[in-house]
Amino acid sequence: MNKRKIINDPVYGFITIPFDLVFDLMEHPFFQRLRRIRQLGLTNYVYPGALHTRFHHALGAMHLMVLAIDVIRSKGHTITEQEAEAACCAILLHDVGHSPFSHALENSLVKGIPHEQMSVLMMHELNNTFEGRLQMAIDVFNDHYPKKFLHQLISGQLDMDRLDYLMRDSFYTGVSEGVISFDRIIKMLNVFKDELVIDIKGIYSIEKFIVARRLMYWQVYLHKTVLAAENQLINVLKEPSIWCKTERNFLLHLLSTFF
């Protein structure tokens, strides 16, 4: 079976699955589960297009990882095939521990179990299932791997996670202020003493990236109506007795996500 599938993606055009192991991880119920978790929770109440899922975001971030690895290799730094696979698997699974509305619920109902911790637990479980083939991915994810830049591509000030969610969230909300030059930023990536750095001529793209990120917080992530809906959600979950008083459509909407 050919596992190097091509997936249509409105944001980047096409995403090619780079390793057989990535395909196998995608098939696993842990990952398929992300099909039912919206990246932006209740934001579609304000921006009706914002229905994209963590499933799609994880694929997008992995796609950017492939591009980044190509760029860094082309500048003379060694990344072995095994390291590339590990980095791709690690970014693919970076959000696997998310539950619906986790950003809203983590600070209220579900205390003490951040989704990052859940992700690590689930990665270990997957590592058992896949007979240790995820060990290097876990090391990279936990920053226990010597080539620090691999971890920084997954989690840092300028990681592939952030690049994808900014691109994807601005694309699906239609808030064009959040669009960034992800391809230029990636072309400017470099490695110095095993740390991820940016070529000097990429400085304007980085500034734009930072401004775009801030604008997305103002216009989308911290939108007053979205925050109010999340607050209503928390109250509803805390106090089932008020469920009957809650707007019926809202409840149905919530239920549709939890099931």
* Catalytic residue flag (residue 115): yes
Q: What angle do CA 224, 227, 231 make, to 5 degrees?
A: 135
Shortest gap between Cβ of 177 and its own copies (angstroms)?
Answer: 5
- Partnered with residue 191 across adjacent β-strands are 196
Shortest gap between Cβ of 161 and its own copies (angstroms)?
Answer: 17
Shortest gap between Cβ of 55 and its own copies (angstroms)?
Answer: 6
Smaller CB separation from its own copies, 39 or 155: 39
Binding site for its own copies (CB under 8 A): 6-11, 13-14, 16, 29, 32-33, 35-36, 44, 47-49, 51-53, 55-56, 59, 171-177, 179, 181, 183-184, 187, 204-205, 207-208, 211-212, 215, 218-219, 248-249, 252-253, 255-257, 259
Q: Could you tell me the two tokens for 28?
A: 């696993």
Shortest gap between Cβ of 203 and its own copies (angstroms)?
Answer: 9
Smaller CB separation from its own copies, 69 or 138: 69
Smaller CB separation from its own copies, 119 or 205: 205
Residue of 115, 124, 144, 223 with catalytic role = 115
Smaller CB separation from its own copies, 143 or 211: 211
Active site residues: 115
